[in-house]
Amino acid sequence: MTYDGHVRDAVNHQSVALRTELEGRGPTLGAFSVAGYPDLTSSVETFVAFAQSGATVLEVGAPAVDPWLDGPAIAAAHRRALRGGDGVSTTLETVRQVSSLSDSPVITMIYWATVLAYGPERMTRDLASVGASGCLVPDLPPAYAPAWAMAAAVAGITAPLLAARGASPGELSATCRAATGFVYAPAAAGQRTGYSDGIDLDELASFVGEARRIAPTTAVLTGIGISTPELAASAVRECGVAGVVIGSPLVRALADGGLERALPVVERFAASISQARAG
């Protein structure tokens, strides 16, 4: 699969759709799952159904051999998805189908080892060609951030960045200034996905406030530790985030009972953050 320069208008449209969503009046609900989990057809159906149930941004995780940021539920989904074939090919095909079936912006989450093996410029071009709005690399080495942002910009997609909670002031400033699309601020410091032991909302609010001070025109989303609809509402209401991204609650529900179990979870989170912003 290769990049076709003639898709640039469509690519720009996808990036504009993401910006429009993040700048809208309502809070953003990002819904995450792994491409190809439990199989390609099912994962496409899952993302489309997430959008129909209230998710306003879809986050497609690329299957990885060592998903170090992910807890047990999502790590198991990575392993299952890899049984179906190459992780990048599965991700590109998932994004291609989902973006053609849903108007919700599609963001990919891809570990740096995968990007480096595939080639950063090639990755951004191919993601653009299948309709991705952006690509978040959670473990992007700071030294590569400028080149990665440039590759994404040339391809016409956004390059959101994860702002580590333990970052120094200089590191946080560099991350927030380099990010395009949004800054991803973990709700739980130093934890993997699936963490559910509570978060310090005051600390999160302070961290988000500093990120917004550095880059006032860039949206801040949070996740990792947002384990309940009530906690999502509190983050939106009290911490200044533009929205939340949920993953482990959805992947666990998919593992337990498929879409029948997962879609009500999406609906509860969507209703909760909508009410929080309205209140």
CATH class for the domain made up of 5-20+27-278: alpha beta
Asked if 221 contacts 252 with a C-beta cutoff of 8 angstroms, the reply is no
pLDDT class of 25 with cuts at 50, 70, 90: low
Query: What is the model's pLDDT at position 194?
Result: 74
* Gap between the Cα atoms of 22 and 160, Å rounded: 12
Provide the mean pLDDT of the chain: 91
Element spanning 73, H or E: helix 72-82
* Gap between the Cα atoms of 274 and 272, Å rounded: 5
Asked if 163 contacts 175 with a C-beta cutoff of 8 angstroms, the reply is yes
pLDDT class of 58 with cuts at 50, 70, 90: very high
Asked if 175 contacts 167 with a C-beta cutoff of 8 angstroms, the reply is yes
Share above pLDDT 70 across residues of the chain, in percent, rounded to a whole number: 93
DSSP labels, 17-55: HHHHHHTSSSPEEEEEEETTSS-HHHHHHHHHHHHHTT-
Query: What is the model's pLDDT at position 279?
Result: 60
Share above pLDDT 90 across residues of the chain, in percent, rounded to a whole number: 79
Q: What is the pLDDT of residues 31-54, one digit of tens each?
A: 999 999 999 999 999 999 999 999
Mean pLDDT of 64-87: 94
Count other C-beta atoms under 10 Å from residue 12's C-beta. Answer: 13
Residues 6+ apart with CB under 8 A from 169: none
Asked if 62 contacts 33 with a C-beta cutoff of 8 angstroms, the reply is no
Query: What is the model's pLDDT at position 189?
Result: 82
Query: What is the model's pLDDT at position 54?
Result: 96
Report the chain's C-alpha Rg in angstroms. Answer: 17
Q: What is the pLDDT of residues 257-271, one digit of tens each?
A: 999 999 999 999 999
Mean pLDDT of 77-93: 95
* Gap between the Cα atoms of 180 and 5, Å rounded: 21
Give how far Cα 5 sits from Cα of 129, 188, 276, Å.
8, 40, 42
Residue 84: exposed, middle, or buried by beta-carbon count in 10 A (0-12, 13-18, 19+)?
middle
Tokens encoding 133: 């709005």
Q: What is the pLDDT of residues 202-245, one digit of tens each?
A: 999 999 999 999 999 999 999 998 999 999 999 999 999 999 99
Catalytic residue ranges = 59, 70
What's the angle, vertex CA 6, arms to CA 58 and CA 120, rounded to 5? 55
Mean pLDDT of 96-122: 97
Mean pLDDT of 176-201: 87
pTM equals 0.92
* Gap between the Cα atoms of 2 and 13, Å rounded: 19
Q: Which sequence spans correspond to the domains of the chain?
A: 5-20+27-278
Query: What is the model's pLDDT at position 197?
Result: 77
Give how far Cα 85 sits from Cα of 39, 40, 46, Å.
10, 10, 19
Cis amide prior to 38 (ω within 30 degrees): yes
